[in-house]
């Protein structure tokens, strides 16, 4: 991996220069997020540079960045117009394996995640277990040296392109629902797995349903102990909510709003300027909170219920930013128009708006986040 400057400003300039030299110009500011296949060449470039996993420790192939440096890295990706679907092996499974996996699991899976040989999707939500995830019914029963998995997952991002899936499964129905859950690693080409893509409102498929019909998984594919998956799931949900509460959710469309406003001359309007500055200040507040929570993860500690503040605030801010983006686009906000902006990039105003709508639902709805905060932090009666 290339040596990194010790000071944050030098680090920012190095990242900016490298991205400018290496990221394909034709992929900058795409009208929709780049999926696994379209971003794989870019993943390999990052891997060759040693920059695939900013938050992983160096001993496992990561960059070992501080919390603030991770924010800088993310900001420079946004500045360069790099918009890809999150790699769940990097952002979620890798940190979990580093903390809970066996040495054999870490030695086998982590290098394959970094190289892009393995692409992971997340098997959590089910038709009857979304916000109430502990009600999941997908089961795994031990048969000799294999777990036999039956059930269904839904809203599984990029399952149709992933090579593997990490699963929460029920391994004991006789105990309290949170205590009978385990964590499995499953190849997507296993016999008995069926994937059905789900088209979104913009006519393309990021999500899928995944069905398991007597899928056999080796016994050693379980992470952690049998029936102890919920504790790991909570740790991963904390990581997921800090991912889903990343201020870049709101900061990137704010940058696109700024570019649109310059193109249309909207900053001459004091009312628009006031609304824009208010949103920009709220985004910076979220950046400060994000850095604080990232530092908790870097210390190897678990995030508590306070992470719900970030997920709740950022996703609702994301929607307010895209509301103003759509309004600023005027008549183009009611069409599928792709606008040419004065900075040389393009913008399809409805796409950020579409992306922002489900943000307050997935990963735990805003209502669920408020209930968590009310009960766990404010100690209000249930």
Per-residue DSSP letters for 97-150?
HHHHS-HHHHHHHHHHHHHTSS-EEEE--BTTBSSSGGG---EEEEETTEEEEE
- Is residue 101, in this structure, part of any structural domain at all? no
The answer to whether residues 267 and 373 belong to one domain is yes
**pTM of structure:** 0.83
The residues assigned a catalytic role are 240
Q: Which of 60, 85, 110 is the last residue of a domain?
A: 85
- Is residue 98, in this structure, part of any structural domain at all? no
Q: Which helix (H) or strand (E) holds 310?
A: helix 307-328
Residues 6+ apart with CB under 8 A from 250: 279, 282, 283, 286, 314, 317, 318, 321
Q: Which pair of tokens denotes residue 24?
A: 């394909």
Position 382 scores a pLDDT of 66
Q: pLDDT digits over 182-201, tens only?
A: 999 999 999 999 999 998 77
Position 234 scores a pLDDT of 74
- Is residue 299, in this structure, part of any structural domain at all? yes
Position 170 scores a pLDDT of 96
The answer to whether residues 250 and 370 belong to one domain is yes
- Is residue 217, in this structure, part of any structural domain at all? yes
The answer to whether residues 203 and 285 belong to one domain is no
The answer to whether residues 183 and 141 belong to one domain is yes
Domain holding 160: CATH number?
2.40.110.10
Domain count, the chain: 3
Residues 6+ apart with CB under 8 A from 353: 322, 323, 325, 326, 333
- Is residue 108, in this structure, part of any structural domain at all? no
CA-wise closest residue to 92 among 249, 295, 233: 233
The answer to whether residues 222 and 276 belong to one domain is no
Regions of the chain short of the pLDDT cut 70: 1-2, 236-244, 300, 382
Domain holding 332: CATH number?
1.20.140.10
Query: How far apart, in Å, do the first and last CA atoms of the chain sit?
Result: 51
- Is residue 92, in this structure, part of any structural domain at all? no
The answer to whether residues 250 and 368 belong to one domain is yes
Position 222 scores a pLDDT of 97
Domain that holds residue 202: 120-227
Q: Which helix (H) or strand (E) holds 371?
A: helix 366-372
- Is residue 93, in this structure, part of any structural domain at all? no
CA distances from 193 to 119, 169, 178, 187, 364 (A): 16, 15, 25, 9, 26
The answer to whether residues 210 and 253 belong to one domain is no
């Amino acid at each position: 991996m290339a040596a990194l400057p010790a000071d944050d400003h030098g680090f920012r300039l190095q990242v900016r220069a490298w991205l400018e030299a290496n990221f394909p110009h034709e992929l900058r500011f795409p009208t929709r997020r780049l999926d696994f296949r379209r971003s794989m060449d870019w993943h390999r470039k990052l891997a060759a540079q040693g920059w695939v996993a900013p938050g992983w420790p160096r001993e496992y192939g990561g960059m070992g960045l501080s919390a603030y440096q991770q924010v800088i890295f993310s900001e420079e990706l946004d500045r360069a117009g790099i918009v890809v679907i999150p790699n769940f092996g990097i952002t979620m499974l890798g940190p979990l394996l580093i903390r809970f996996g066996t040495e054999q699991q870490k030695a086998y899976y982590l290098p394959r995640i970094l190289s892009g040989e393995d692409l992971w999707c997340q098997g959590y939500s089910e038709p009857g277990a979304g916000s109430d995830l502990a009600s999941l019914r997908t089961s795994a029963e031990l048969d000799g040296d294999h777990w036999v998995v039956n059930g269904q997952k839904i809203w599984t991002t990029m399952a149709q392109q992933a090579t593997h899936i990490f699963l929460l499964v029920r391994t004991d129905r006789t105990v309290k629902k949170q205590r009978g859950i385990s964590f499995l690693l499953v190849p997507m080409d296993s016999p008995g797995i069926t994937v059905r893509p789900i088209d979104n409102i913009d006519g393309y498929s990021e999500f899928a349903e995944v069905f398991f019909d007597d899928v056999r998984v080796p016994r050693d594919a379980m992470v952690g102990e049998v029936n102890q998956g919920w504790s790991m799931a909570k740790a991963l949900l904390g990581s997921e909510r800090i991912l889903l509460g990343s201020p870049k959710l709101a900061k990137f469309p704010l940058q696109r709003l700024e570019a649109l406003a310059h193109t249309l001359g909207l900053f001459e309007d004091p009312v628009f300027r006031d609304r824009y500055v208010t949103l920009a200040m709220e985004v910076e507040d979220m950046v400060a909170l994000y850095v604080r929570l990232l530092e908790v993860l870097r210390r190897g500690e678990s995030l508590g219920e306070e992470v719900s503040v970030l997920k709740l605030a950022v996703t609702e801010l994301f929607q307010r930013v895209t509301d103003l983006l759509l309004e600023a686009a005027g008549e183009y906000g009611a069409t599928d128009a792709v606008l040419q902006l004065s900075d040389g990039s393009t913008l399809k105003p409805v796409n950020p708006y579409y992306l922002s709508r489900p943000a307050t639902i997935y990963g735990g709805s805003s209502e669920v986040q408020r209930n968590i905060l009310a009960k766990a932090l404010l100690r209000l009666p249930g």
